[in-house]
Amino acid sequence: MRGILIKAVFWAVATAAANSNCTDGLYMIVARGSDEPAAASKDGLYPVNTGSPGYLAQLIAAQIKDSIIMGVEYPATLNDYVQSENDGAATMLQLAKDYHSSCPDSKMALLGYSQVCDKNNVLVTDEDTNPYIVRAPN
């Protein structure tokens, strides 16, 4: 039951966050690595929920006017890796789908570490350019 509640909270946060305004710049969805803190760094190196990939996103945003950085809220833990990975991948996918649905002509980039899309997952688009994650068979 707790897992369902946690997923519902992630879903609600992802959906609310993804319904932001469209941007003329690049919309970057960024996921931190395992055990990286969710809080923004004190020295401003990265935004909330982005971890070290958020630093790269900020460098990109400095080069592409009107870019937006969206952190993926998920556990990013090694203690319950499979659940954390599933939550991260589902949240990133929902953020991508929601933004694409709201802003179909905008540009989007996904940055992050393996938990949100491990070696067995590939983010692809269908003929209508709707993003989704495909899990390769083991």
Local mean pLDDT, 10-residue blocks, the chain (138 residues): 43 46 92 87 82 90 94 90 86 91 92 63 52 46
Residue type, 21: N
3-state secondary structure of 131: strand
The backbone torsions φ and ψ at residue 63, rounded to the nearest 5 degrees and listed phi first, read: -100, -20
CA distance 116 to 101: 20
pLDDT at 42: 75
CATH of domain 2-135: 3.40.50.1820
Domain locations along the chain? 2-135
Among candidates 112, 109, 129, which has minimal Cα distance to 27? 109
CA distance 86 to 7: 9
pLDDT at 123: 52
Please state the pTM of the whole predicted model: 0.70
